[in-house]
Amino acid sequence: MVCRVDSLEELQQAVDHFPNTMLDMGKHVGSQFLLEEFLTGPEFSIEGYVDQAQPYVVAITEKQLGAEPFFVEMGHVVEAALPMSERTALIGYIERVVLAIGLEIGVFHAEARMTERGPILIEIAARLGGDRIYRLVELTTGLSLPATMIRSYCGVKNPARIDPLHIQHAVAGVRFMAFETLGRFGAVEGLEQVRTMSGCEEVEIYFNAGDVIPPLIDFRGRVGHVLFTADDRATLDMRLIQAESEIRLAPQAA
């Protein structure tokens, strides 16, 4: 339920559009809205953990956002393609944020944009990243963030940290699929062909035939995903594009 507004009129429309009582995963999350400054620049998420009160960034995730005004996340890539200077600035910034807000245990997932003023935080939470990001991290670094989180909460020291400034040879990416028009979910073809492609780790469809497809204004409008690995970014992008072209989604006939 994120929406860009550029005027008081658009703000009123956004408030009127969303329900007074909001639900997330079936739980009430409140009825207040947060109005924030719009930040210009590429968006990233930063995955890490805290061990003995010291924060460690283990991966930077490149975010692939859908069209404004809703910014639906349609894909993620680990490790993000960033110049070393920006990578270093982003890592240092997030580690200072973690210390400033007092996170002392467990994993963290932060989101930030690289702006003309440098990195600026959007949000941070003491949790795993969603959208299969923890799996992308494990495929590229060998580090299981869920296991890291459990060890931390159990008071078990984690192994030596991964150097986040060392660019990995392997990359991993997830791409989400959606319908261009609303309706009910119908048929899907091409899944088995995609599963046989080199680098394919996951192919999943979230809906069954006849299910109503919500509008693509947040994650609930996505109908499935593909997840691939590759030895370089160009190959990864090619595999994701090919996989999307192989999968054919058809709405249910009226």
Closest CA to 111 of 94, 89, 132: 94
How confident is residue 21, by pLDDT bands cut at 50, 70 and 90? low
Give the pLDDT confidence of 204-220 residue by residue, as tens digits: 999 988 888 888 888 88
Centre a 10 Å sphere on the Cβ of residue 15 and count the other Cβ atoms it contains: 13
The model scores a pTM over 0.75: yes
Before 19, cis peptide (omega within 30)? no
Distance CA 110, CA 128 (A): 10
How confident is residue 179, by pLDDT bands cut at 50, 70 and 90? confident
Q: Tell me which CATH homologous superfamily contains domain 41-163.
A: ATP-grasp fold, B domain (3.30.470.20)
Instruction: Indicate where the chain has its CATH 3.30.470.20 domain(s).
Output: 41-163, 169-254
Residue 186's pLDDT is 83
Structure tokens of 43? 């968006």
Structure tokens of 20? 């007074």
Indicate the class that CATH gives domain 169-254: alpha beta
Residue 149's pLDDT is 93
Give the pLDDT confidence of 139-153 residue by residue, as tens digits: 998 889 999 999 999
213 or 31, greater pLDDT = 213
Distance CA 187, CA 176 (A): 17
Centre a 10 Å sphere on the Cβ of residue 228 and count the other Cβ atoms it contains: 27
